């Protein structure tokens, strides 16, 4: 049986602190800001200032989808700070970045490195939550998610895990599609991002949290019967889309096809619409910046058809290019 992996997202703990940018920074691109911070770090000797600069750099890199680079910046912070709780906090942020790019192995290595010092105290809930997410990321069938979901359910009953209860509820609802979890979200956390995301009421900007996991259904909102409420042109990356290649093989282009298969394809989703016209408008706007996008139709179990705007490229910097041209985008792992 073919194994299917579905990538799902949630904004958890990660927000850009725009106060970190001065008024003049608003006139430069994100790429320029990253380069500026790198140069400033190289010239800085004072530890406290260097930590602040590394943290700003990590935030920018994470926002730009440069997760591996962001993890290195967070780890650099952890090596400079002397307080153990702060060290563990930066390591947890680095592990989050590795989860964002689907690397459960490196996530586990980082979590193990702080297990003895972070298992109690303010970092303990995140340590346990990230460990459960990493476990889910390694599951290849829906049957395999049983044990981690049992663990997550047990966390719901612990007072020590209250700070991440809404994230746990969202995770369990996403994986199982059982209404009791979204009902609890609506009752206990009606104004939370997790509740709004489950209801399809919010855009997942600025940054999604990606990780792999099998689940009961493909569609995130198919069981809740909540349809998108916005028809304007806006990003709606509410699920990982499976995008099969549609190239037609021809006898006169074997070398070109072989080369393409050997190159890594980077896929980004720029928007998700219930109107094909709105999706096409976004494709046209992106084309004006010399970026080629395509529309992928997605038919939900409800029978409704939605339209995702996708960019595929062999350019590893395509995500940054899209963002620097003023468009939000989110990586799709296939």
Same structural domain, 197 and 329: no
**pLDDT at position 11:** 39
User: Coil, strand, or helix at residue 9?
Assistant: strand
In a domain, 112, yes or no: yes
5 has pLDDT over 50: no
Q: How far is CA 282 from CA 64, 65, 94, in A?
A: 20, 21, 33
Q: Any idea what the CATH number is for the domain that residue 296 is in?
A: 3.30.70.1070
Task: Dump pLDDT digits (tens) for 251-309.
Answer: 444 454 444 455 778 888 887 777 888 889 999 999 999 999 999 887 765 567 878 88
Q: Which two tokens stand for residue 55?
A: 């943290």
Cα(297)–Cα(34) distance, rounded to whole angstroms? 35
When divided into structural domains, the chain yields a total of 2
In a domain, 218, yes or no: yes
What's the predicted TM-score (pTM) here? 0.61
Which residue would you say has higher pLDDT here, 328 or 80? 80
In a domain, 249, yes or no: no
95 has pLDDT over 60: yes
Same structural domain, 277 and 191: no
The band of 67, judged by pLDDT with boundaries at 50, 70 and 90, is confident
Same structural domain, 130 and 259: no
Which residue would you say has higher pLDDT here, 220 or 288? 288
Same structural domain, 280 and 136: no
Domain hosting residue 270, numbered range: 233-244+255-334
Same structural domain, 142 and 279: no
Cα(239)–Cα(301) distance, rounded to whole angstroms? 14
| Average pLDDT value for the chain | 75
Q: What is the mean pLDDT of residues 156-161?
A: 94
Q: What is the mean pLDDT of residues 20-27?
A: 50
Same structural domain, 159 and 298: no
Same structural domain, 31 and 162: yes
Cα(117)–Cα(64) distance, rounded to whole angstroms? 31
Same structural domain, 21 and 52: yes
Q: At what angle do helices 67-80 and 84-100 cross, to 10 degrees?
A: 170
User: How many Å separate Cα 212 from the centre of its chain?
Assistant: 10
Number of Cβ within a 10 Å radius of residue 170 = 23
**pLDDT at position 18:** 38
Task: Dump pLDDT digits (tens) for 171-185.
Answer: 898 888 888 998 999
Number of Cβ within a 10 Å radius of residue 256 = 11
Same structural domain, 219 and 237: no
């Amino acid at each position: 049986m073919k194994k299917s992996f579905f990538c799902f997202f949630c904004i958890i703990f990660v927000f850009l602190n725009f106060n970190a940018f001065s008024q003049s920074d608003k006139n430069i691109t994100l790429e320029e800001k990253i380069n500026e911070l790198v140069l400033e770090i190289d010239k800085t000797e004072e530890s406290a200032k260097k930590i602040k600069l590394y943290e700003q750099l990590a935030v920018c890199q994470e926002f730009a989808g440069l997760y591996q680079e962001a993890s290195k910046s967070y780890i650099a912070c952890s090596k400079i700070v002397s307080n153990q709780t702060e060290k563990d906090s930066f390591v947890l942020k680095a592990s989050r970045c590795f989860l964002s790019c689907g690397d459960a192995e490196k996530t586990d290595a980082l979590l193990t490195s702080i297990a003895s010092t972070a298992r109690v105290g303010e970092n303990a809930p995140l340590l346990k939550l990230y460990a459960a997410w990493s476990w889910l990321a390694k599951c290849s069938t829906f049957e395999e998610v049983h044990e981690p979901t049992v663990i997550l359910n047990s966390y719901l009953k612990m007072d020590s895990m209250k700070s991440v209860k809404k994230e746990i509820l969202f995770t369990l609802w996403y994986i199982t599609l059982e209404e009791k979890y979204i009902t609890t979200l609506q009752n206990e956390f009606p104004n939370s991002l997790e509740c709004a995301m489950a209801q399809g009421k919010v855009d997942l900007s600025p940054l999604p949290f990606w990780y792999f996991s099998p689940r009961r259904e493909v569609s995130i909102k198919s069981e809740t019967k909540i349809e998108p409420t916005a028809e304007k042109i806006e990003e709606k990356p509410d699920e990982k889309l499976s995008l099969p290649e549609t190239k037609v093989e021809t006898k006169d282009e074997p070398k070109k096809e072989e080369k393409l298969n050997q190159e890594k394809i980077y896929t980004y989703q720029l928007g998700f619409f219930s109107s094909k016209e709105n999706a096409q408008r976004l494709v046209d706007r992106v084309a004006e910046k010399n970026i080629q996008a395509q529309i992928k139709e997605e038919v939900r179990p409800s029978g409704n058809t939605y339209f995702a705007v996708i960019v595929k490229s062999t350019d590893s910097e395509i995500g940054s290019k899209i963002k620097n041209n003023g468009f939000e985008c989110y990586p799709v792992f296939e």
